[in-house]
A and B are shown apart, each in its own frame.
Chain A
Amino acid sequence: DTEVTQTPKHLVMGMTNKKSLKCEQHMGHRAMYWYKQKAKKPPELMFVYSYEKLSINESVPSRFSPECPNSSLLNLHLHALQPEDSALYLCASSAGLAGNEQFFGPGTRLTVL
């Protein structure tokens, strides 16, 4: 199974809402990633978890809060977002630090009103 799943597929939220994005993989991968992708742009790295510990935070605003409850799950908690945060949020996983295949999920299309 080489699949990364993400829920929900679409999310519309107001600037005062709190919501969460979820990601799951069962490939035994120990690195999991959150990316943000704007239209016609490449994915932009937000966070990396390695062995369930936060390894990289690309200076992401605190209104985005990642969580890795276990080796298969990755969450992104959203609070007080801005309209410019509207984007496709992608989760990905890879086996580890060495150059390995990185598999992406289908993404969550987020719209902030």
Chain B
Amino acid sequence: GENVEQHPSTLSVQEGDSAVIKCTYSDSASNYFPWYKQELGKGPQLIIDIRSNVGEKKDQRIAVTLNKTAKHFSLHITETQPEDSAVYFCAAYKGTYKYIFGTGTRLKVLA
């Protein structure tokens, strides 16, 4: 069935360093790829997304890249700050109301 693999499961970086989280999807019909940040006790917050006709998208310190051939997409956070510490989920969507989520990455930014 459809699935999304996400790595790593945990990631610790020093404040100011970059963080990269990678996802691989299985269904080539997927055409929309959102990233969510979830802080403790809160709902997931959409932080950036990318559509299949775009290879890269950037919003300030956050960027997402998509390689459709390899079915990979990645989240890049530069100049990390303590408030970036959270769980990040990737997802893949192909138009059936079902967003297939990755397993999550717990990011810790060490001050």
Residues in chain A within 8 A of chain B (CB atoms): 4, 6, 31, 33, 40-43, 45, 48, 50, 55-56, 90, 92, 97-107, 109
Contact = CB atoms under 8 A, between A and B. Distances in A.
Contacts of A50: 97
A42 B42 contact: no
Q: Is the interface of A mostly helix, strand, loop or mixed?
A: strand
A9 to B, nearest CB: 9
Which 6 A/B pairs are nearest by Cβ-Cβ distance? A99-B32, A42-B101, A104-B43, A48-B97, A106-B43, A107-B43
A41 B104 CA distance: 7
B9 to A, nearest CB: 9
B89 A42 contact: yes
A94 B42 CA distance: 19
A97 B43 contact: no
Contacts of B49: 101
Interface in B48-107: 49, 51, 87, 89, 93-99, 101-104
Contacts of A48: 97-98
Interface in B9-43: 31-32, 34, 36, 41-43
Given A56-B97, A109-B41, 12 more contacts: A40-B87, A41-B103, A42-B89, A56-B98, A90-B43, A99-B31, A99-B51, A99-B93, A101-B34, A102-B46, A103-B46, A105-B43
B95 A42 contact: no
B8 interface: no
26 contacts: A6-B43, A31-B97, A33-B97, A40-B104, A41-B103, A42-B102, A42-B103, A43-B44, A43-B101, A45-B98, A45-B99, A48-B98, A92-B43, A97-B95, A98-B95, A99-B31, A99-B93, A99-B95, A101-B34, A101-B46, A102-B99, A103-B46, A104-B36, A104-B45, A106-B43, A107-B42
Contacts of B51: 99
The winner among A4, A6, A42, A50 for most chain B CB atoms within 10 A is A42
A89 B48 CA distance: 23
A102 B94 CA distance: 13
